[in-house]
Every structure is written in C-alpha cells, then in structure tokens.
Structure 1
Amino acid sequence: MNDTVAQYLTQHADRFVDELKEFLRIPTVSADPACKPHMLRGAEFVYRQFSRLGFNAEIVPTAGHPIVYAEWLKAPGAPTVLVYGHYDVQPADPLDLWTTPPFEPTLRDGCLYARGATDDKGQVFTHIKSAEAWLNAVGALPVNLKYVIEGEEEVGSRNLEDFLEARKKSFACDVAVVSDTSQYGPNQPAITYGLRGIVAVEMTLTGPKKDLHSGVFGGAVANPASGVARLIAALHDDQGRVQIPGFYDDVTPLTDAERKQFADLGFDEEAFKAELGVTEVFGEVGYSTTERRWARPTCEVNGLFSGYTGVGPKTIVPSKATVKITCRLVPSQDPHKIVQSLETFLKSKCPSSLTFEFTSYHGCPAFVLDPTSPYIEAASQAIREAWGVDTVRLIREGGSIPVVQTFKDVLGLDTLLLGWGQNTDNLHSPNEHFSVTDFHRGISASAGLWQKLAEMPK
C-alpha cells in the first residue's frame, strides 16, 4: 500500500473509532416505524462523510428509507468500483440480554459492542475511511468509486432494485465490493466466493372460527396445530433430505476440488458443537457440516405459533396455526420454482377439514464467483498485506445477500465479498461486536484494494 496512506491510517486510527461510535449511536432500526426519524439521521451521517471529502453525494428518497449515493470519478482510465453497504440494523431485542445498551457503543476486550457494529456499519465504514485516507493523504484515489448505501437491507431491500434499475446507465462499473460477510476464523481472513439463495414463506391453517374448549369440542373438529405439525414433519425424510418434489432437480453439485478445498480448511466440529451448545450435528446424510452449511440446499422452520402460549395450561382447540419457513438455495435452483413446488406440496397434504393460506415473501437465487477471477487475486494481495498472513481463504457462506444477484442481473457486475468480522460477532443477537483490530485491518485492506485494482492489467 502507498506509504503516505498507511501513515495517515495510523495517525487517524483513534478518530476513526470515535466516528464509528457516533454512527452506532443512531438507532437505525429499519423494521421499526418509530425509528423513521433516526433512519434519516443515519442517512445524513453517511452523506456528510462523503460530502466533506468532495464526493458528488446525495440522499435519495424512496418509498421507504433513503439511499445514500456518492461518487468520485476523477481517475480517467482506471477501474470503477461500486461499493455497497447498509446503514440500517436489526432490532436490539431482547434488551435484557445486552451487557451494555445496544446504542451506547462500548469498548470491551478489544471489541466495540453495539447493534450494527459488524452488521453492517463497522464494515461499510472501512470502505469510507479508506477513501478518506487516499484523498486526504495523496489528494486522489487510484480508482473511481461509486457508493450505494441503503437503509432497508434488514427488511428485504424493497426499494433498492428500483433505484438501480432507474439509474442503470450511471452505474457502469468493473466490479462491486460488499463487506457484509465474515472471516473464516480469528486472524484467518477470507474471500467469500459463494452465497446460498433464499425463499421465505408463511403458511397458516385455520379450523374453527374461534378457539374452542378442548373438552367440549376436542375430537370433533380438526386441530390446526396438529395439522401444521404433520405438514412440517413431511418436509424431510429420516436422512435429512427435503421432500419437496423437484427440490434437488437443478442443484449444481460440488466438484471434487471444492469438497477437498472445504475439507482442507480444518473445520473443528467439536468446537463448533461447543460454541452452539449442541451435542450432535445434524443434516443431509452424505455431506460434511461445512458442505451442508455452505453448499447444500435446506428447508428450515423459522417460527411456529398457535393457540395459548402463556403461563400454565389453557384447554383449547386453537382456531389457527402458522409456520414460517425459509429454504436456502444453491446454484441453478430457481426461487420461483421452489416456492411453487413448496406451496403445491404443502397444500396437497393439508387436511380438507382445514383452510390453507400461503404467503410468499422475499427470495433470491444463489451466487458463485469464479474462484480464479483476477479480482479475487487483487483482493487476496490487499488482504494479505493488511493482515500480515500468507493465506487468504476462499470460502462460501450459507447466508444470502440478495443485492449480489441484483448487481449481476441489473448491472452485469461480479461482486467481491470481503468480510472483516467474525461469525461469532453476534450478528442479529444481543452483544453484537466488532474487533477494533479487524476494523483497522479492514480499512487498510480496503485502501490497499483500490491500489491493487488500479494495477490490474486492463
């Protein structure tokens, strides 16, 4: 990396942390209507970061929460990079499980604790500070940069695609960069070359028009809770394979090289079980835990509710029962096809004595980037220099980032997924945190990446 830039990063390291704390104090919970004024404050904070650096920046209103767009295009002939991130965060509940308040950033054991510390404020902030370092230390960036930082990622990015589609011509870029993933482990930086896709649905079964006394009416009417339980049980066989017709038809299998690559990562299954508090792993027979998590399709129950759930007994036959289900998808699976097959499968098994209702929510296909891409090599070099390690691991992740496929479909862009955090940072959970060391290494890697991309053969 440029020595002047590196010196600037060292000199301003403490200020970067203080500014991140300021960002984290804003409760930008996109799912909570009461936080709407704070969402605007969050967008304004991001906007000011760019405007004071001389970026052409704007806050773009949407039907929901605003998008911040900023661009610096003063490096003719150099690559143009699109950086994506989000300033919205998950709700902080349950509050009583936080050691310190979720929106009062606290340094503890080398980590910064706050909601959004690693998902995604801390990570996207690294790419803003790296641009600052180049501009303030050198006076120019080695590449052209465009930033899209939205406020609705945690609620499905419902307005992002319309924004990208409307401005499609202005988003001509060479590659996109997203930091919303994790390292493989402590001091084991990684580039994520694959993500699973997702479909999310909800099913409700309705029996009687109201809850009924189980002594007076039990055995005379169908119980929706029992009906839902039977349908859930039908989703898998005893080998852990999903029973939705056609579910595996389009699955792109792992290559032998990929399976060896995963095995060579040295996954510690005993430590994994201890971390999660489980005595056994479970899943599709014939695949390792890593393969199941990263590269095999799944069907999971996310929520299940019916009848009385308070303290003590209440003897009723409930009127309704609801289950929330998500399927994680792998390359070549079509989300629309999976949703249709799932709905048909569940409806076919629903007792005629119960009313069936099915709702489909968001979805996206899986993503895989060619692991031999020259962009991956450029990123690997930048990360190696920032972390001071020889190996940068190529991994997949089991989660989904819908915007990655949107970039591919709408803009024709491949995406570098560069995660600076850890899977153990309590993303979406109480006591979310981000290593301050990794925060600074992320800024350094980002600053180095701009230089490595500029040096790539055209």
Structure 2
Amino acid sequence: MRQQTDVMMERLAQWVRIPSLSCDPDHAVDVTRSARWLSASLRDSGFPVVEEWRTAGLPAVYACWPADDPGAPTVLVYSHHDVNAVIDEEWHETEPFAGVLREGRLHGRGASDAKGQVLCHLWALRAHLAATGRRAPAVTVKFLIEGEEEIGSVHLDSLLARHRRELRADVVMVSDTMLWSTDKPAVCTGVRGAVSATLTVSAARHDIHNGAVAGAAGNPLTELSRLLGSLREENGRVAVPGFYDQVEDPSASERAQLAAIAPNEPQWLARTGAFGARGETGFSILERVWLRPAAEVTSLLGGRPELPGLGVIPATATAGLVFRLVPGQQADDIAQCVRQWVEQRVGSGFTFDLDLPSSRSDPYTTPTDHPAFTALEQAISRALGAPPVHMRNGGAAPAAQLARAVEAPVLFYGTGLLEDGWHSADERVEVQALVQGAETLAHWLSALPAAMA
C-alpha cells in the first residue's frame, strides 16, 4: 500500500507542477498542458473515450468508461483542473508549483483544489477494478473536468448545452468540496450559492490635488467605505433590502447534525487562521458558514499608496464583493437586490458602476433520501469505521447548474480540509485524506448498481 501511495503522490506532484492558472492569459498554454496531462492519465487508466472539449476560453476534459451492463447506472464526476492565482513571495513551505511531498502532505497550488480530488476518483476507479476483477467498472463513469472554474466557469453553460447527450447521467458527483477532518466522518449535503460584484464609485474626471479641494470635493474612498460599512447590521445580518425574503431557515435536524461536529472557537480559529469569530447573532460558527447567507468584501482599491507624497483625492475607488446564498435564495434575484441597494445608497455628487457577472451560482441541497446518497454514507462508514454526520460547504460549486443541465441529483465528495490553504499561500493536501477518499469512492462504485436497482 505504501508503494502504491508513493506512486499516486508522484503522479499528483507531476500535475501540480503544471501552472494551470486560468486567471492569467500568459498561462493559457499551461491550462492546455494540464488538460492534456489529465487526458493522457485517463487513457492510461483504461478510459476508452477521452476528449478535450474546446470552449471560447480554456479547455475542459471529458471521459467515459461504459459499464459492461448497459442497464447499469451512470455517474458523472465534475471537478476542475485550473488553479487559483499565486503570489510567489508569500509562499514559505515550497515554491507554488514545486509539488513537494513532506511529512504526509503534498504541497503546491492545486494539490487540494482540485487536482488531488480529480485523481482521487481515478485511483478509486482503479481500486474498484482491482478489487472486483472487472475489466470495466460496475457503473458507467463519466468525467467532466473544466478549465475555468477559478474564473467563474464562464463557458460551463455553453459546454453543458452543447454536450447534453454525452453528459447524460443518473447521478452527478461534484468533487470540489471539503471534509471536516480525517478522523471524524462527515458527508457534505449541500453548498451555498454565490453572486460576485465589483462596485466602482467615482467623484471626479481625474485625481485632484488634495490641498486644492479638500473639504469641498467628494471623496470616493470615503463614500465607498460608508457604503461598505452599511452592508451589514450590528447583529451580523446583511442589510440589503429583500436579501432574506426567500431564505429557508435551517431545520432542527440540520442544526443538530452540525452540533454533532461542534468545534469550539479556539479550534476553529486555529484551523482557519482567523483572529476572531464574527457573524449573525443566534447561530453557531458552522451554521453561519454553512446554513446562513453572508456578504463579504474581498478587495478594496483606491488612491496611490505607492506614492504617498502625491497628495491627491482619487477620482475612483473600487471594491470586490461576494454574496453567499442559501436554500430559497436565487442568484439572479439577489443580484437585482444588490443593484437596487447600490442605486438607493450612493450619495449625490458621485457616480457608480456596478458589475454583476452572469457567472453566478444558486445554492444546492442533495436529496438525502436518494439511494446513491445512502450508498455514499455506507461507503464512508466502511472506509472510516463510523457513520458520517451531515455537513455543508460554505463555498460555491456549479451544482445547481449541473443538476438542471443533466437532470440528475448532485452528490458531493471532496478531500479538502480547512488547513489546506485553498486560494492562499502554501496550499497542501493531506495524503491520508486522499487515501481515505479513494477507498470510500471505490466502495461507492461497487455498491451503486444494487443501491440504484
């Protein structure tokens, strides 16, 4: 087993060393290299159908391995092979794309989010075939691994529409999510949705010398700060009118499931690196992160801090915003609420531009009475030795989008952990999480035909 794990980690390290940064046009060729590396790995594993699907942007990879039994169920695995941006000088453990294995962790951008998760499914399929002696899997397995998730899945809709026939499936498995820990079994039952926005406030046609107009001209930094300061109420609720109109309150059973995980605040702070826990009054940390909506400022730009002696009032200031959505909320409705809030709140003497990209996602909840979900719970129990509690994920994934396009329920199984450093420096993945994941998914593949019969 140790030898197999070492081989698995070396393959993942090879893939991590390809800097598939979808956010940087200079790395578009690397995203294509990443797609071709994955395509070769899928063919080497036995997939008879492997295709590189072109988009108007960056390529996705599709693969299909039919079951011997034409009546067997079909599973579509979704994830992504592009990675988030890096700031080289902030990485201390390794260089961002070194792919270094050290003390049970593989370090590098994409190791956890989400190249490790993709290969976990591939290793699970190999284990399933080895354990059963089959030449083909017990279920038809399809992969859709896109190359633009980190920039909002901008061409996913067109891919899903153009390839509807190839993507037909009985169940979708999204693997771009997190576990709670490697020693406390938990299964994800849903994700929040997301609406991103960029708000630019302007006060003049150009920067103006501070001494000439200070006290009389509008300052976009001040106005934007005022707006952002009014985004949330003292009790932590989002102050945008209409934001909570369709929110479905968590059930008592859902809150009880999260209470079973029950991290104390110091543990959560240590794992996340946060200095304090804030949020909506009356809800626990996990309820705030998984079951309640939120609004966050992700960037704030304005002025010329690199030229402090310039002494000007800037013409513009810009903020990035993300609104996290929960069951009941619809992304398009929330985008409209945000637009109306900005229109009503920007003061006189200022203009604004609000960009609300169409690449947004609705929240999604797995139907936990589906037999494929029951089989997943049983597979986790078998691999980890105890039945899993139910958790959620606070980030977004295109689950609702996939469910609508494929017309199939969506399940979640990922191998990320809070400590893995997604979207920050020193990303890594726990080897134990990948090994447990491969074992879990191998059991799941074997159990699906009987579960869905």
CA contact (8 A) 2:367 2:409 kept: no
Q: 1:173 to 1:160 in 2, by over 3 A?
A: same
Alignment counterpart, residue 13 of structure 1, candidates 5, 15, 38: 5
Shift of residue 174 of structure 1? 0.9
Runs of 5+ unmatched residues, structure 1 = 1-8
Correspondence for 1:430 among 407, 425, 428: 425
Whole-angstrom distance in 2 between the partners of 1:358 and 1:96: 31
Counterpart pick for 1:358 among 334, 354, 360: 354
1:182-204 per-position Cα deviation (integer Å, ceiling 9, x unaligned): 11123223211011111011111
Would the alpha carbon gap of residues 13 and 241 (structure 1) be closer, same or farther in structure 2, given more than 3 Å must change?
closer
Residue pairs, 1:403-422, within 5 angstroms = 404-422=399-417
Find out whether 1:343 has 2:342 as its counterpart: no
Q: Distance in 2 between matches of 1:223 and 1:442?
A: 52
Partner of 1:6: none
Q: Report deviation, 1:153.
A: 0.8
Matches within 5 A, 1:253-272: 253-272=249-268
What is the TM-score of this pair, normalised by structure 2?
0.94
2:82 alignment partner, one of 80, 85, 88: 88
Contact 1:184 1:393 in 2 (8 A): no
Find the residue that maps to 2:356 and give its secondary structure: strand
Name 1:206's counterpart in structure 2. Answer: 202
Matched, 1:119 2:113: yes
1:307 alignment counterpart: 303
Whole-Å separation in 2 of the counterparts to 1:87 and 1:278: 28
1:47 Cα shift?
0.8
Deviations 1:15-69 (A, max 9, x none): 2222111111111111111111111111111111222314211111111111111
**TM-score (ref. length: structure 1):** 0.93
- With over 3 angstroms needed to count, the CA separation of the structure-2 counterparts of 1:182 and 1:228, relative to structure 1, is same
Residue in structure 2 matched with residue 452 of structure 1 by the alignment: 447
Structure 2 residue 62 is the aligned partner of structure 1 residue 74: no
Contact 2:79 2:175 in 1 (8 A): yes
SS at match of 1:419: coil
CA positional deviation for 1:340? 1.2
For each residue in 1:104-162, what CA deviation from the matched residue of structure 2 results, as whole angstroms up to 9, or x when unmatched?
11111111111111100011101112223444653221111111111111111111221
Mean Cα deviation higher: 205-214 or 12-21: 12-21
Q: CA deviation at 1:276?
A: 4.4
Instruction: Give CA deviations for 1:282-325 in whole Å, capped at 9, x if unaligned.
Output: 11112111111111111111111111222645422111111111
Q: Which residue identity lines up with residue 366 of structure 1 in the other structure?
A: P
SS at match of 1:301: strand
Q: Which residue number corresponds to residue 218 of structure 1?
A: 214
> CA, structure 1 residues 343+86, in 2 after alignment: closer, same or farther (shift >3 Å)?
same
Tell me, in whole angstroms, the C-alpha distance in 2 between the residues paired with 1:237 and 1:160.
36
SS in structure 1 at match of 2:395: coil
Pick one of 365, 373, 381 that aligns with 1:368: 365
- CA 1:11 to 1:424, structure 2 compared with 1: closer, same or farther past 3 Å? closer
**1:349 CA displacement:** 1.6
Superposition deviation, residue 419 in structure 1: 1.7
Post-superposition offset of 1:373? 2.6
Match of 1:34 in 2: 26
Q: Secondary structure at the match of 2:266?
A: helix
1:49 aligned residue: 41
Alignment of 1:116-155 (within 5 A): 116-135=110-129, 138-155=134-151
* Secondary structure class of the residue paired with 2:165: helix
CA distance change for structure 1 residues 432 and 170 in 2, over 3 Å: closer, same or farther? same
Give the drift of 1:365: 0.9
Greater Cα offset, 95-104 or 157-166: 95-104
Paired AA for residue 49 in structure 1:
S
Task: Provide the rounded CA distance (Å) in 2 between the counterparts of 1:156 and 1:422.
Answer: 22
Task: Supply the RMSD in Å over aligned alpha carbons.
Answer: 1.7
Counterpart-to-counterpart distance in 2, 1:279 and 1:133: 42
**In structure 1, how many angstroms separate the alpha carbons of the residues matched to 2:375 and 2:159?**
29
Task: Provide, for residues 320-370 of structure 1, a one-character-per-residue CA deviation record: whole Å limited to 9, x for no partner.
Answer: 111111110111112111111111111212122011211102311111112
CA drift at 1:100: 1.2
**How far did residue 457 of structure 1 move?**
4.4
The reply to whether residue 317 of structure 1 matches residue 313 of structure 2 is yes
Q: Does the 8 Å contact 1:86/1:120 carry over to 2?
A: yes
Is the 1:30–1:155 Cα contact (8 Å) retained in structure 2? yes
Change (3 A) 1:186 1:443: closer
Q: Distance in 1 between matches of 2:330 and 2:71?
A: 38
Who is 2:154 aligned against? 158
The 8 Å contact of residues 182 and 432 in structure 2, kept in 1 or not, is answered as no
Deviation per CA, 1:207-257: give whole Å up to 9, x if none. 121111211111121111111111112212211121111111100111111
Bigger drift between 168-177 and 327-336 goes to: 168-177
C-alpha displacement at 1:80, in angstroms?
0.6
Following superposition, the deviation at residue 425 of structure 1 comes to 0.7
Alignment check: 8 A CA contact 1:202 1:323 kept: yes
Q: Give the deviation of 1:382 after TM superposition.
A: 1.6
Local SS of the residue matching 1:438: helix
Cα distance in 2 between the residues matched to 1:240 and 1:438: 34
In the alignment, structure 1 residue 397 sits paired with structure 2 residue 393: yes
